[in-house]
Structure 1
Amino acid sequence: MNKRIPISLACVLLWCVPTVNADIFWNGNVNEDVFNEANWDLSASSVTTIEPNVSIEDNIQVGPGPFTFWPMVPDLSGQKRFQIGDGNVLNLISGDEMIDDFCLCYGMFVTEFNESVGGAPGSTNGPTVNVSEGFLFAPWFVVSDTTVNVASRGTAILGASGNPLSRSVVDLSPDAELAFMDESTDDFRTEHLSKITVSGVPAVEGSNLLVEEIFPGAMFVIGIPEPSSITLTLFGTLALLAFRRK
């Protein structure tokens, strides 16, 4: 049974992340590689190549599909970025069919080990990533003045330790989910809590934000406002990511 909140209702309740018109569209025709231009429809854009660490100067859309392959930033030598130009937007839009029974997600954009999504180094007017209801956004890092908006029942998971949310911020809608796979709750409170808002309001633990360690000493999750649904979804999602990264 599809238990997602209907998109129309979510928008009425102002829980829906806004999207913008895009000119670059994922088609996933060949494989998962985001840097293979054959996986993109570039016909409406002046952009002709998608390369690591090179800003994509246009708005981008992944979803709703269906696709044979959903996008992944591959594991390349050194740290590489799927780099979005200043002021541009990456819209991640769920489809109608569940694409993986483990993560309970309807769309997916992930990175392999040590790779990132975000703006150019030194950016002060960075990009925006909009994560829709039912979509899994799982980069190792988010970098360079990027704003990530996560809609109700959307999920963002950051895989790195140290500074996985580097010079960037996350805004969560009610019942959105955010997890860190290699940060302690103390580290989160010290380093990342100030980077989180809930519906545009600064996050306050115990008020508009739940902080919960789900794997001892390693991972914790932030969710609003139903801890039971958060735990169910995140356990499945984290299990999937752990399997993919072995």
Structure 2
Amino acid sequence: MTTIRVPYHLDEPLPEATLPDLPGASTVSPDLPDGDLWARMAHLHEEVAVRVAESVRAAEAPAVLSGDCMVALGTIAGVQRAGVDASVVWFDAHGDLQTLETSASGYMGGIPLRILVGYRPELSAERLGLRAVAEERVLLVDGRDLDPPEAEFLAASPLRRYGVEEVAAEILPPGPIVLHVDLDVVDPGEFEGLLFPTPGGPGVSAVLDAARRVLHTGRVAALSIGCTWDPDRSDPAARSGLVADLVSHRASTG
């Protein structure tokens, strides 16, 4: 099964040690062109989309390990290129539903899910040929740290939000699924070194159990893992063990 490492945070390369080096994994690490942030990320995400599409066409369910959640756009674009019209299940402590107009921080890592459902396609989607996923086919898992504009969006949207413990086959969106797990969904009391720690979350075992329930449906076309931690402040064994567990259960998707 294909495992792809993307050691970047937005358009900035990360130390190799940031992402676990699982057996058989390959690394996407292109020289990014000069230009603005969106052009540079599009170049990186294009490389991811190409590799993911090749894997899906070969009847594999690729796993993509990255340093942020934006790379998931390339993963989903690759799944679509392979002819798979996938729904999305998005595990995250945050909503990732901000916009450039509403974000108080201006952090680009806070908007990928909003882009995925059709926001400002000229920023990323049009560059990747990424088709918007209907909001009713997206499930946000956890999302305990929402800014007011994100909460307002969800209140008016068919995009559904559930807790980790509520994840079950019956609530999943229809058809093939891209499963995205930002590991900051885990409570920082159990997982040190997260870049954006959000207290009050589920433990490691609860997150793994919920992700397995999605993987074991046999409908996951690709697995995306946001390794959003500081490698200097987190335990390498814990990092590798958590990611390896998720990736190993991907093999059960059939």
Given the two structures, how large is their TM-score scaled by the length of structure 2? 0.32
Structure with the higher fraction of residues in strand conformation:
1
Greater RCO (CA < 8 Å, at least 6 residues apart): 2
Structure with the higher fraction of residues in helix conformation:
2
Given the two structures, how large is their TM-score scaled by the length of structure 1? 0.32
